[in-house]
């Protein structure tokens, strides 16, 4: 049965200023141009429920993030450079999150959209780059958005787009210092947990969903059949695919509990994510220990994030 997938194919032109490069010096790259053409739809038999573009739940509260993070809660500012816009060559853009040591989380369909397979592993990715911390005009009033750093995708460790789950882990060079740790829980996230999402809706600079507590009994019994999937009500738009779903602890420390990958069919009022506890187990079966791979840097950054840039 053919069903409509959520897709994130957005024409993206990221032209970096070369500045003093010819003299052997490097400037912080600046995004000169972004093209946000209409998304392109596709069909495939990948799921038992219908994929739609990500949706706004109620009134759109997405907040553009200032370059200096000054309009964010102080506990969130240290994470801002851990979020990057994933430029997928001619295939559009998604959102990625640095988990530590150069390992990045995004949605599986970002790599598998239109592919003849539902799983990739140890796959080269020469046409994919990540522009970290791409966000709006600085407080100084410069009209140009800024990028903190740029990474080249080295390898897709694992990507899956199936009825059960939709996530990908890939490795990059030149990773940012900022990272967000993956939550160590091995069960579904408790109702009323404070969630939030950062991402690149429609390819725009970084925007914030604000807080969206996980509601109890949000999911209709037949809407999500996989225990690896869950419903959330953080607002998103196309381009947010791959945004990490963050649980915010009482001390303001963020942990990744899932990855945003789809929206429920209308009239249901929620978006859909894949749990990281399930993704961790799948990766272990593939011989990749996510906690060991990312733990040292991600844990350090998570414990310090609440005090950075205060």
pLDDT tens-digit profile of 178-217? 999 999 988 888 888 999 999 999 888 999 999 988 877 5
For residues 2 and 21, what is the distance between their CA atoms, to the nearest angstrom? Answer: 49
Average pLDDT estimate for 124-147: 84
pLDDT computed for residue 264 by the predictor: 76
Instruction: Round the average pLDDT of the chain to a whole number and report it.
Output: 76
pLDDT tens-digit profile of 58-81? 566 799 999 889 999 999 999 999
Instruction: Take residue 92 and report the two structure tokens written for it.
Output: 């559009």
Average pLDDT estimate for 48-67: 63
Phi-psi region of 203 (alpha: psi -120 to 50; beta: other; left: phi over 0): left
Place of tokens 């994470």: 79
Of the given ranges (21-30, 241-250, 271-280, 289-298), which has the lowest mean pLDDT? 21-30
pTM for the structure as a whole: 0.79
Dihedral pair phi/psi, residue 73, rounded to 5° = -55, 140
Rounded to the nearest angstrom, the gap between the alpha carbon of residue 234 and the centroid of all alpha carbons in its chain is 13
pLDDT computed for residue 58 by the predictor: 59
What structural domains and CATH numbers belong to the chain? 3-305 (2.40.10.120)
pLDDT tens-digit profile of 7-16? 222 222 222 2
């Amino acid at each position: 049965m053919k069903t409509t997938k959520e897709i994130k194919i957005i024409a993206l032109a990221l032209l970096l200023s070369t500045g003093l490069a010819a003299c052997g010096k490097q400037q912080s790259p600046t995004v000169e141009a972004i093209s946000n053409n209409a998304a392109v739809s596709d069909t495939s038999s990948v799921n038992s429920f219908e994929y739609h573009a990500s949706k706004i739940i109620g009134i759109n509260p997405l907040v553009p993030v200032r370059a200096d993070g000054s309009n964010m809660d102080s506990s969130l500012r240290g994470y801002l450079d851990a979020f990057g816009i994933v430029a997928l060559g001619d295939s559009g853009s998604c959102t990625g999150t640095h988990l530590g040591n150069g390992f990045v989380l995004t949605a599986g369909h970002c790599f598998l959209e239109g592919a003849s397979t539902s799983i990739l592993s140890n796959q080269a990715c020469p046409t994919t780059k990540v522009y970290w911390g791409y966000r709006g005009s600085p407080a100084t009033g410069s009209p140009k958005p800024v990028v903190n750093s740029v990474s080249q995708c080295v390898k897709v460790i694992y990507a899956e787009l199936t009825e059960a789950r939709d996530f990908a882990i890939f490795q990059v060079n030149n990773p940012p210092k900022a990272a967000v740790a993956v939550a160590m829980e091995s069960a579904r996230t408790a109702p009323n947990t404070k969630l939030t999402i950062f991402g690149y809706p429609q390819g725009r600079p970084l925007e914030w969903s604000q807080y969206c507590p996980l509601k109890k009994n949000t999911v209709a019994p037949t809407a999500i059949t996989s225990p690896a999937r869950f419903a959330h009500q953080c607002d998103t738009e196309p381009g947010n695919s791959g945004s990490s779903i963050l649980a915010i602890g009482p001390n303001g420390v963020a942990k990744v509990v899932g990855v945003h990958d789809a929206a429920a069919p209308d009239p249901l009022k929620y978006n859909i994510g894949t749990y990281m506890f399930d993704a961790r187990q799948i990766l272990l079966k593939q011989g990749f220990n996510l906690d060991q791979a990312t733990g040292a840097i991600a844990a350090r950054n998570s414990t310090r994030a609440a005090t950075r840039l205060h």
